[in-house]
Amino acid sequence: MSDFKDAVSGAEDMVADAAHSASREYAVARRNIQGALDDAISRLDDARRAVKMGARDAADATDGYVRRNPWQALGAAAAAGLVIGLLVRRR
């Protein structure tokens, strides 16, 4: 009977050790995943900022060109509208 109690006690200790080990591994995995997620969020935020700045620069350049060359801009818009109209009409 004593051997059986010792075996059960040993098994209980092994289960507790396994659970503790698993929780440590889970914590490490969770920390690694959280770090990767934080890094991805940071990179996406940097990319968003770069795209926003690029779009703002392009809009500023376009605005400057239209203000310096209003007739050329009007002509280009009319030509683009004519081409788009012809393409839509063909279909």
Per-residue model confidence (pLDDT) at position 2: 63
pLDDT of residue 1 exceeding 90: no
Per-residue model confidence (pLDDT) at position 57: 96
Nearest-5° angle of CA 18, CA 21, CA 26? 120
C-alpha–C-alpha distance, residues 31 and 23, integer Å:
12
pLDDT of residue 23 exceeding 70: yes
Specify the 3-state DSSP secondary structure of 15. helix
Domain segments of the chain as ranges = 2-90
User: pLDDT tens across 28-75, in order?
Assistant: 777 888 888 888 888 899 999 999 999 999 999 999 999 999 999 999
pTM of the predicted model, to two decimals?
A: 0.54
